[in-house]
Structure 1
Amino acid sequence: MRRALTLAGAAVLLLSGCGGSNADSASPTPTTASGSPAAIDPAEPACGFLTPPEREALIGSAIDEVVATGGSNDSSLCRWQAATALLQVTTLPAREWAKTLPDVVAQLEKSGTTSGDDAKDLARAKKLLTGADSFSDAEACAAFTTLAEIGGADKGATTTIATVPITETESGLSGQICSGGELTSILYSVPDLERTTKVEAAVQKALKAAQARAVAAR
Structure 2
Amino acid sequence: MTSASPATVDPDEPACAFLTGAERKRLVGSRIDEVVATGGSGDSGLCRWQASTAVIQVTTLPAREWAKTLPDVVAQLEKSGTSSKDDRKDLARAKKLLGGAAAFTDQQACAAFTTLAEIGGADDGATMIITTIPVTDTDSGLSAQICSSGELTSIIYSVPGLERTEEVEATLRTTLKAAQERAIATR
Q: TM-score, normalised by structure 1?
A: 0.82
What SS does structure 2 have at the residue aligned with 1:149? helix
- The residue number in structure 2 matching 1:177 is 146
Does residue 43 (structure 1) correspond to residue 12 (structure 2)? The answer is: yes
Contact 1:38–1:70 at 8 Å: present in 2 too?
no
- The residue number in structure 1 matching 2:96 is 127
Q: 1:76 pairs with 40, 45, 48, which one?
A: 45
- Partner amino acid, structure 1, of 2:131: A
* Deviations, residues 160-185 of structure 1 (Å, cap 9, x unaligned): 00001122332100000000100000
Contact 2:45–2:60 at 8 Å: present in 1 too?
yes
Gaps of 5+ in 1: 1-34
> Hey, what's the Cα distance between the residues in 1 that align with 2:141 and 2:11?
23
Offset, 1:54: 1.1
Q: 1:107 pairs with 76, 80, 86, which one?
A: 76
The percent of aligned pairs where both chains have the same amino acid is: 74
- The residue number in structure 1 matching 2:63 is 94
Number of aligned residue pairs: give it: 184
* Deviations, residues 131-157 of structure 1 (Å, cap 9, x unaligned): 000000000000000000000000000
Contact 2:107–2:149 at 8 Å: present in 1 too?
yes
Gaps of 5+ in 2: none
Offset, 1:36: 5.6
What SS does structure 2 have at the residue aligned with 1:202? helix
- The residue number in structure 2 matching 1:186 is 155
Offset, 1:43: 1.8
Q: Which runs of 4+ in 1 moved over 4 A?
A: none
* Deviations, residues 83-126 of structure 1 (Å, cap 9, x unaligned): 11110000000000000101000100011233310000000000
Kindly report the root-mean-square deviation, in angstroms, between the aligned alpha carbons of the 2 structures: 1.2
> Hey, what's the Cα distance between the residues in 2 that align with 1:95 and 1:168?
34
Q: TM-score, normalised by structure 2?
A: 0.95
Contact 2:145–2:176 at 8 Å: present in 1 too?
yes
What SS does structure 2 have at the residue aligned with 1:81? strand
Structure index of larger Rg: 2
> Hey, what's the Cα distance between the residues in 2 that align with 1:36 and 1:138?
39
Q: 1:205 pairs with 147, 155, 174, which one?
A: 174
What SS does structure 1 have at the residue aligned with 2:116? helix
> Hey, what's the Cα distance between the residues in 2 that align with 1:172 and 1:117?
28
